[in-house]
């Protein structure tokens, strides 16, 4: 229902003004926050659902710094009246089709990891640990930033940045983002405090030994 039925230029707010993206038949502009409001869902949930559709090969999605361009797979077979969908965005924004050579490189380098965005791959364990350490909002933002960074020069950066878990953690450390403080409950006195409150591995209230 969102897909355009004819070629047109769509204005996109860049934060510093408005830029236009050429959208082809079978494509539409997607923003997770706007979609979340329309669907009454969490933005990260909406994006994960879109990734699932992409992994099922129901759609292709190419993101830039301001939005994502979604191409419905096989749209032309049912809706286009013979118009061929190229899956490309022209003008100032990057193309929506990933270069085939880059895709083959991705499959080889990241074959044991899950695809969280076009150029970001993590194991489920790495992702869950990142969320546990820093929170979902921060990690989703870092994933998007890393995807945009690699996507601007994939030929150079796909091979250079292979451990995305390590890259995200390094960026967070550089930015001074600290891990979430874990709450601890003393098994003896049942008082609650943080790990930094421990004194030589002992409860600051009753002195009982506590394992962080």
Q: What is the pLDDT along the chain (212 residues), one digit of tens a residue?
A: 788 888 888 887 766 667 788 888 888 888 888 888 888 888 888 888 888 888 888 888 887 666 788 898 887 776 644 444 444 444 444 444 444 445 455 556 666 788 888 889 998 889 988 988 888 889 999 999 998 998 888 888 888 888 999 999 999 999 898 887 667 788 888 877 777 777 778 888 888 888 76
CB contact at 8 A, 7 and 90: no
Q: Cα-flanking dihedrals φ and ψ of residue 40, to 5°?
A: 65, 40
pLDDT at 139: 93
Q: Cα-flanking dihedrals φ and ψ of residue 13, to 5°?
A: -75, 120
**For residues 195 and 184, what is the distance between their CA atoms, to the nearest angstrom?**
6
pLDDT at 65: 62
Residue 41, exposed/middle/buried by CB under 10 A (0-12, 13-18, 19+)? Answer: middle
The model carries a pTM of 0.43
Residues 6+ apart with CB under 8 A from 31: 67, 68
pLDDT at 99: 47
pLDDT at 104: 53
Domain boundaries, the chain: 1-97, 98-180, 181-212
Helix axes 124-134, 136-151, angle to 10 degrees: 120
Tokens of 205: 């209230």
Q: Classify 211 as helix, strand or coil.
A: coil
End-to-end CA distance of the chain: 52
Place of tokens 């601007």: 152
């Amino acid at each position: 229902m969102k897909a355009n039925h004819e070629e047109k230029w769509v204005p996109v707010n860049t934060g510093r003004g408005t830029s236009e993206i050429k959208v082809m038949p079978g494509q539409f502009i997607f923003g997770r926050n706007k979609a979340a409001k329309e669907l009454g869902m969490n933005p990260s949930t909406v994006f994960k659902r879109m990734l699932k559709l992409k992994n099922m090969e129901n759609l292709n999605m190419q993101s830039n710094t301001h939005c994502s361009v979604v191409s419905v797979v096989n749209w032309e077979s049912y809706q286009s009246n013979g118009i061929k969908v190229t899956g490309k965005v022209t003008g100032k924004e990057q193309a929506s089709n990933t270069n085939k050579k880059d895709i083959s490189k991705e499959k080889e380098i990241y074959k044991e990891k899950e695809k969280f965005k076009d150029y970001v791959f993590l194991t489920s364990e790495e992702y869950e640990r990142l969320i546990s350490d820093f929170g979902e909002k921060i990690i989703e933002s870092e994933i998007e930033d890393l995807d945009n960074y690699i996507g601007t020069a994939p030929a150079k950066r796909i091979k250079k940045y292979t451990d995305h878990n390590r890259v995200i953690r390094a960026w967070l450390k550089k930015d001074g983002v600290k891990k979430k403080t874990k709450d601890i409950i003393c098994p003896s006195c049942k008082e609650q405090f943080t790990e930094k409150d421990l004194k030589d591995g002992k409860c600051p209230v009753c002195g009982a030994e506590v394992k962080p």
